[in-house]
Amino acid sequence: MVWLSPDESEALHLSLSVALRSVAISAPAALAVAWLLTRRRFLGHTLLDAMVHLPLVLPPVAVGYVLLILFGARGPIGGWLERSFGIHLIFTRNGAALATAVMSFPLMVRAIRISLESVDRGLEDAARTLGAGAFDRFATVSLPLMLPGLLAGAITAFSAALGEFGAVITFVSNIPGETRTLPLALYSALQEPGGEHAAARLAILSVTLGLAGLWVSEWFARGVRRMLGR
């Protein structure tokens, strides 16, 4: 983009790439967890609910630290991923995506839960009497009906992922071109003498991105409401 410097452009692309990956990781997991929390009663229900909401109340740096312990090269999960699949998370953009996914997970689960609770169980029963099995019902009735909530959740999580700072810098550090997303670039600019101008430009870019995200989300929700006749 012509009006952005190469560094800014890089940070923007990286942010979008990390946020997209983050949503791709968290959406299916959030869907599964929201389903469990809404539709199933089981031992440890309250515990799972609390775990999901933990990132909301923990300092992001603490989340990054826990990730470092679990997913570091010698951590129990990180070591296993490295050995089994050659997946390397630490100091990579995939690691940044994981950190933002964990941080935005509660937002996503909440949005999906609300939309799942609003799905009329009667419609699922009707599908059942028409011969639709459990997965069929979910895919053809519940999922389309909760799509507005799911997408609103995804867009909110995407926007939150663009802005995540603490967990990212703790877990994957601040590496230009790999993990230096917009907020990290903004932070770096402020650390440099005479970086105020660069920082202001990055701040404006962040605001623009955030507004665009909100606008897309609203536009989409309106379209879906019209389709469902609400």
Partner 1 sequence: MLDVAATKQRGAFHLDVRFESPTPGVVALFGPSGCGKTTVVNMIAGLLRPERGRIALNDTVLFDLDLGIDVPVEKRGIGYVFQDPRLFPHLNVAGNLKYAERRAARTAAIGFDRVVGLLELQPLMTRRVHQLSGGEKQRVAIGRALLSQPRLLLLDEPLASLDRERRDELLPYLETLRDQLSLPMVYVSHQFDEVLRLATHIVLMQSGGVAAQGGIGAMSLDPRLRAMIGPDAVGAVLDGTVIGRGAMGLLRVRLGEGEIQVIAAGSAVGTTLRVLLLARDIIVATQTPQGLSVRNSLKGVVSAVEDDGASDLVSIDIGGGTVSGGRGPTILARITKAATRELVLAPGKTVWALVKSVSLRDVTSSGFPHA
How far is 171 from 106, CA to CA, in rounded Å? 19
Residue 109 C-beta: closest distance to partner 1, Å: 23
User: How many amino acids of this chain bind partner 1 (CB under 8 A)?
Assistant: 21
Q: Is 132 in the site for partner 1 (CB under 8 A)?
A: yes
Q: Is 41 in the site for partner 1 (CB under 8 A)?
A: no
Contact window for partner 1 (CB under 8 A) among 57-65, 124-132, 191-199, 204-212:
124-132
Q: Is 221 in the site for partner 1 (CB under 8 A)?
A: no
Contacts 24+ apart (CB under 8 A), 180-186: 180/10, 180/11, 180/14, 181/11, 181/14, 181/15, 181/18, 181/96, 182/11, 182/12, 182/15, 182/206, 182/209, 184/11, 185/7, 185/8, 185/11
Residue span 140-169 as binding mask against partner 1, x where in contact by CB under 8 A, dash where not: xx--xx------------------------
Residue 140 C-beta: closest distance to partner 1, Å: 7
Residue 138 C-beta: closest distance to partner 1, Å: 13
DSSP sequence for 36-100? HHHH---TTHHHHHHHHHHHHHS-HHHHHHHHHHHHSTTSHHHHHHHHHH----TTSHHHHHHHH
Contact window for partner 1 (CB under 8 A) among 29-37, 58-66, 121-129, 191-199:
121-129
Find the binder of partner 1 among 54, 128, 175, 203 (CB under 8 A). 128
How far is 42 from 31, CA to CA, in rounded Å? 17
Q: Is 135 in the site for partner 1 (CB under 8 A)?
A: no
Find the binder of partner 1 among 131, 135, 194, 197 (CB under 8 A). 131
CB 155 within 8 A of CB 23: no
Sites of contact with partner 1 (CB under 8 A): 120, 122-123, 125-133, 136, 140-141, 144-145, 227-230
